[in-house]
Amino acid sequence: MSFLREFWLFGLKQAYACLFGGYLLLLMLLTSAWYPIEAMHRYDFIFLAAILFQVVLLITRLETVREALVIVVFHLVATVMELFKTADAIGSWVYPEEFIFGIGNVPLFTGFMYSAVGSYIARAWRIFNFEYSGYPAKHLTVFLVLAIYVNFFSHHFLPDARWALLLLTLFLFRRTTIYFRIIKTPRQMPLLLGWFLVALFIWFAENIATYANIWIYPNQSAQWSMVPLAKLSSWYLLMLLSFVLISLINDVRVREPGAKSESESG
């Protein structure tokens, strides 16, 4: 019974951590199936609805000011990348519907999709009381994510370094364990595995979003098809980038394996 209770609470906490992302995904699906507002483009409605939801989360204190700051930072970082990726000369993907709130080929709601990832990590970090062992030096993680971010742009002109960056990620975090608490007893898993599970979840969400015509890849222009599993490598690197960005504003509590956390020893 204790296992079932802990498993149930784990699911509830995960749902709470995914609150913003789940809302966006549901909004995309609903407006894809039925959107009756002729006076407003669907993309613009999603943008305004996302802002309104953020305000509600802050007023109800379901989201902290720090978590809202994370969303703003991710929105800016993501919009720069989106402007590049959707440029006519690059065309990695397109947003097929019309919009008013946007820059270039990028509707402004797109930044919220990346923000949902950052929001999830920041909220999960808080409610699961993350601690780590074997965490690499922070300056090395910053160097790694800078290289990852640059490669998202440079691989269009230079050899793609993603596999080298993935190998470097495996090397730096090979001994890193993440500790989390659902109720009181600390649980743990390799951090690399945790990132993979979240990246897999994002890949599923990406398939739902492309099916809902939020954005489409060139191979989906004639007919929708599932996003290739190879895209997991990009989401894995994005997860790492998101995680390290949040580690810069959160306290990375490091402990030795087997040692008790402050909450346990207290």
Burial 74-109 (b: 16+ CB within 10 A, else e): bbebbbebbebbbeeeeeebbbeeebeebeebbbbb
Is residue 200 a contact partner of residue 232, using CB atoms and an 8 Å limit? yes
3-state SS, residue 7: helix
For residue 66, the model assigns a pLDDT of 85
The pLDDT, as a whole number, for residue 227 is 96
Q: What is the per-residue pLDDT for 247?
A: 93
Cα-trace Rg, the chain: 19
Predicted pLDDT of residue 137: 95
Closest CA to 13 of 138, 181, 177: 181
Spatial CB neighbours of 131, under 8 Å, sequence gap ≥ 6: 178, 179, 180, 186, 253, 254, 255, 261
Give the pLDDT of residue 245. 92
pLDDT tens digits, the chain, 266 residues: what are they?
688 899 999 999 999 999 999 999 999 999 999 999 999 999 999 999 999 999 999 999 989 888 888 889 999 999 999 999 999 999 999 999 999 999 999 999 999 999 999 999 999 999 999 999 999 999 999 999 999 999 999 999 999 999 999 999 999 999 999 999 999 889 999 999 999 999 999 999 999 999 999 999 999 999 999 999 999 999 999 999 999 999 988 889 998 655 565 545 54
pLDDT of residue 265: 52
Distance of CA 27 to the CA centre of its chain: 17
